[in-house]
Every structure is written in C-alpha cells, then in structure tokens.
Amino acid sequence: MNEFDIINIISKNISYKNGVERGIGDDCAVFKLENQHLVITTDMMFRSTHFPEILTPFQIGMRIVTANVSDIAAMCAKPLGMVISMGFDKPDLKFIDEMSKGMNFISKEYGCPIVGGDTNKSKELTLSGTAFGITNNPIYRGGNLGNEICITGTIGRVFCALKILEMSKNGIIDKLKFEKLIEEFPEIIKKLSEPKARVLEGISLNNVVTSCSDISDGLSKDLNHVGFFEIYSKELLKAVPKDVVEFSEKFDINLIDIALNSGEEFELLFTVKDFKNAKKVLKGINTVTKFGKVVESGKTVDGNNITFEGYVHKW
C-alpha cells in the first residue's frame, strides 16, 4: 500500500460544501472568499524519515516551515501564517530552543509568522505544519496543450547530498571521505540542509503561468502534475549546476537521472504560454529554464518513455 491508495480511499468518503473551490489533489486546498482565495496546506515530518542526521535543530525548524510554505508558493499565493504541532519522545529543552529559533528565522524571511500549534508525546520527533496563504488568482496543476514547461533555479543538488549520506550509511565511504565530500561540495549539502521556498517567484509568476507545483517528490514524479509532456534533456541540463556535473562524473551517475529524481528541491515547476514572459518577471529574482512542452499524449524524455521514480510513501 502507498500514499495514493490511502488518499483514494479518503477522497471517496469526503464531500465539500459551498466555498471550497479545490479540495484534495493539489498543493493546497482553496476556499473562495468574497474578493480573494484562501489557500491552505499541511505537511508532516518525522525524525527518522525527513530529517537527515547532519541537520542541526535550527535547520530542522527551518525545514518544516519551508516544506509548508513551498506549497503556498506553488499556488502563486502570498503566505499569511502557519501553525505547527510538535510531538516529542524525550524533550530536550536546548534542542527545542534552537529548533524554534530556526522556525522563527525562516518564517520571517517568508513573511509567514508562526501563530500557534500544539505539543504532545510521540515515539519520535514529529512535526506537522499547516500554512495559510491568500491570492486573487490561485494557480492549479495541469498545463495546457502547447505550453512550455519550465523550472526555477537549479536541480540535482539534493539527490547528490542524499547520495553522500547513503554512501556513508552503507559503509561505501569512511568518515574521513564523508567529511571531505561535505567540504568539497558545500552548495550540494546546503541545498539539502537549508532549502528555500520560492515565495517571491510564485507571487511574481501569478499572472503569467498556466499551472504550477513545487518539486518535492522528484521531477520525474512531479511532472505528472503537468499532464502529457515532452522533455528535452539538453535543455534540462541547463538547470543543473556545475557542482552536480562534477559529482556525477566523480561517482559515474547519469546526469539526467540525477535531474529527474532529485526530490525536495522546492523549486517551482510551471507551464507558460510564452517563456519570455516568465523570464521577464523573474529577472533579478531567480534563474529560469525552459526544458519541455505540454503535448496531446505521451510522457517522454528525448522521445523515450520516462520511468517515474521520485518519492512515494509506502507501508
């Protein structure tokens, strides 16, 4: 059983009343207000599966906020605030102090204050956030035929960072080699430990894009939100930074595989009628890369059917 099996069961048993414009199935639920739309999202994280050991308590606090706010950004909405519920096994006051400082630090950057929450006992550190945003034009998933497919920023660093951790955990590299890789690829590690939600990018793209989502589960999986598509690897590689190229060569990993399967990047994946418009509104804010288009049928990379990997919760 995976997360989609569970979601499908729940969806069949839930109905909506007037005012709910979008329910289960997008980055946020959407409520129609008088002149605006309220967007709401929630994201839950566990110590054992979501927070690598290299993360400091401060960075853990940043991460739970960023993951939730990224969904608000994916709706091209402005964050309003959020609440965070916390479960602890053996509460450590110093840990909690540093973690909450991290939450506050990044929430200020996003303009998304933490206004409440709950605490309880749990078997491991458990954080569950719920974020709220506002917009007069919520942007949903699903591009239109002929639209160009684009991504903000870079892609691939998180995959590489997790690969370093995996090699260390499995004994492929020793502690000294691990520390050298951390030192050799600082930006790769930073993308994992301190990712950023693309709030300003989302707001700037609001009146330009035809669809939008954030890259959380891996590009190959998140591309499903677009519909049918053709991806061109030569163009996609323009979004891959130099250090990822160096990493792929060092460990003989296919660069396209890295780009397609790097999750929790929190960049925005969007479709647009005219790429020039997206490039114009993001000038001075972030880089943007066009790497495919929405088509009538098929899901391909350079004409070959794509293999969907990415991350799926399983039981």
Domains defined for the chain, CATH in brackets:
3-135 (3.30.1330.10), 148-305 (3.90.650.10)
Residue 302 has pLDDT above 70, yes or no: yes
311 is in an annotated binding site: yes
271 is in an annotated binding site: no
Structure tokens at 205: 């793209």
Residues of the chain above pLDDT 70, percent: 97
> Cα separations (Å) of 261 from 64, 100, 154, 166, 257?
21, 31, 13, 15, 6
50 is in an annotated binding site: yes
- C-beta neighbour count of 158 within 10 angstroms: 24
The band of 25, judged by pLDDT with boundaries at 50, 70 and 90, is confident
Residue 312 has pLDDT above 60, yes or no: no
Work out the average pLDDT over 221-227.
92
Structure tokens at 49: 């599966």
Residue 196 has pLDDT above 80, yes or no: yes
Q: 16 versus 51: which is more confidently predicted?
A: 51
**Strands 304-305 and 114-121: what pairing?**
unpaired
Work out the average pLDDT over 229-255.
97
214 is in an annotated binding site: yes
Dihedral over Cα of 46, 47, 48, 49: its sign = positive
Q: State the pLDDT at residue 54.
A: 93
**Positions of E strands within 69-200:** 78-88, 114-121, 126-135, 148-152
16 is in an annotated binding site: no
Measured CA to CA, the distance from residue 154 to residue 50 in angstroms comes to 21
Estimate to the nearest angstrom the gap between the alpha carbon of 83 and the chain centroid: 19
Work out the average pLDDT over 122-148.
96
265 is in an annotated binding site: no
Residue from 292, 307, 298 nearest 261 by CA? 307
118 is in an annotated binding site: yes
Measured CA to CA, the distance from residue 135 to residue 38 in angstroms comes to 7
217 is in an annotated binding site: yes
Residue 151 has pLDDT above 50, yes or no: yes
Work out the average pLDDT over 65-80.
98
141 is in an annotated binding site: yes
Q: Supply the DSSP symbol for 225.
A: G
Work out the average pLDDT over 294-305.
93
pTM for the full predicted model: 0.93
The band of 315, judged by pLDDT with boundaries at 50, 70 and 90, is very low
Q: State the pLDDT at residue 15.
A: 78
Work out the average pLDDT over 272-298.
97
Structure tokens at 215: 């890259």
Residue 313 has pLDDT above 70, yes or no: no
71 is in an annotated binding site: yes
Work out the average pLDDT over 281-291.
98
Radius of gyration of the chain (CA): 19
Q: State the pLDDT at residue 309.
A: 55
